[in-house]
Amino acid sequence: MTVSHDDSRPAVTWSDAEGTHATSCTYLVGSDGDRGVSRDAIPDGVLTEYRYDFGYAWLAALVEAPVTGDAIMAVSDHGFVGQAPRGPQRSRYYLQCRLEDTEQDWPDERIWDEIRLRLNDQGIQDAAVVEKFFVPLRSVVRSPMRYRNLFLAGDAAHLVPPASAKGMNLALFDVGVLGEALVAALRDGDTAPLEAYSDTCLSHVWNYQDFATWMTDTMHDAGDPTQHGIFRQMTARARLDQPVQAPHRRLACTASTTRLQLRAATPGPGLG
């Protein structure tokens, strides 16, 4: 599939079992994720990319073991670990790891040893690991979220680290704003909301990036002190112990000497 944009209209070309097809349209929404092709239609120099790399990754491991109780996000001296339900019989664990780690560094036995260590629970039993992948933690914002009549939405325009659990929320916000703007343009001939689309969404995106950076830094700095040092670990733990200062930073937190368990007190989807 390729996307292009000449002087007036965006166009898409794609191939399937029946051959190659092409179409052009008045407006095109590029909602094909971070690795999609929509952005390829935008000439160099149009988009500014703002990027922040946190310096570590998550190993995501899908296992044949359900979550017992609530989803968990926990920090320990050995690093972050999270667990979220994936159907009645499975769950996905997220383990903080090095950016350069590969599957060879994480045989199944090590995954379970680290889970037990980071959750301080030697009673957790090994189970089959059916999938593993690595997610480098990073934040990206591409601005503007538009080139002529091509509109970027969701991960095609921005990424937040998964620790914040906000990427899908942002994608849905974008298409909600864009849907209403397209209706106004096509039904009422009012293009003002389309003109405002990028500014409207970017203001929302930066607000969420602020939250995502705060939450990601806090949860990882509070854990493994080899990451950013013991001073940052202590300040992050103090932050976790604080009652909440801002509504969007509301966390319920219970602490023991070796383990902190966090639950978002504001509603939102579980980890992806």
* Greatest distance between any 2 Cα atoms in the chain: 64
Instruction: Pick the closest to residue 140 from 102, 167, 111, 108 (CA basis).
Output: 167
Distance, CA of 141 to CA of 118 (rounded, Å):
32
**Which runs of consecutive H residues, i.e. helices, occur in 189-221?**
192-221
Q: What single DSSP character describes residue 103?
A: G
Among 86, 166, 237, 259, binds ligand FAD (CB under 6 A): 166
| 8 A C-beta contact, residue 40 and residue 104 | no
Indicate whether 146 belongs to the interface with ligand FAD (CB under 6 A): no
Question: What is the enclosing helix (H) or strand (E) of 255?
Answer: strand 251-255
What's the min distance (Å) between Cβ of 134 and ligand FAD?
Answer: 10
Indicate whether 171 belongs to the interface with ligand FAD (CB under 6 A): yes
Indicate whether 155 belongs to the interface with ligand FAD (CB under 6 A): yes
Q: Which range binds ligand FAD by CB under 6 A, 100-108, 115-123, 154-162, 211-219? A: 154-162
What's the min distance (Å) between Cβ of 124 and ligand FAD?
Answer: 21
Q: Which range binds ligand FAD by CB under 6 A, 110-118, 144-152, 161-169, 195-203? A: 161-169
Indicate whether 136 belongs to the interface with ligand FAD (CB under 6 A): no
Among 149, 169, 200, 258, binds ligand FAD (CB under 6 A): 169
Beta bridge partners of 112: none
Residue 270's alpha-carbon distances to 71, 112, 142, 193, in angstroms, are 8, 22, 26, 32
Considering only residues 69 to 108 of the shown chain, the ones binding ligand FAD according to CB under 6 A are none
Residue 13-52 contact track with ligand FAD, rule CB under 6 A, x = bound: ------------------xxx--xx---------------
In the bound state with ligand FAD, the residue whose beta carbon lies nearer, of 31 and 96, is 31
What's the min distance (Å) between Cβ of 16 and ligand FAD?
Answer: 10
Distance, CA of 167 to CA of 170 (rounded, Å):
5
In the bound state with ligand FAD, the residue whose beta carbon lies nearer, of 171 and 205, is 171
Q: What is the DSSP string of 46-59?
A: S-EEEEEEEEEEEE
Residue 107's alpha-carbon distances to 12, 76, 129, 201, 204, in angstroms, are 43, 21, 10, 41, 40
In the bound state with ligand FAD, the residue whose beta carbon lies nearer, of 37 and 184, is 37
What's the min distance (Å) between Cβ of 104 and ligand FAD?
Answer: 21
Instruction: Pick the closest to residue 144 from 195, 215, 185, 179 (CA basis).
Output: 195
Residues that bind ligand FAD (CB under 6 A): 1, 31-33, 36-37, 60, 135, 154-156, 162, 165-169, 171, 269-272
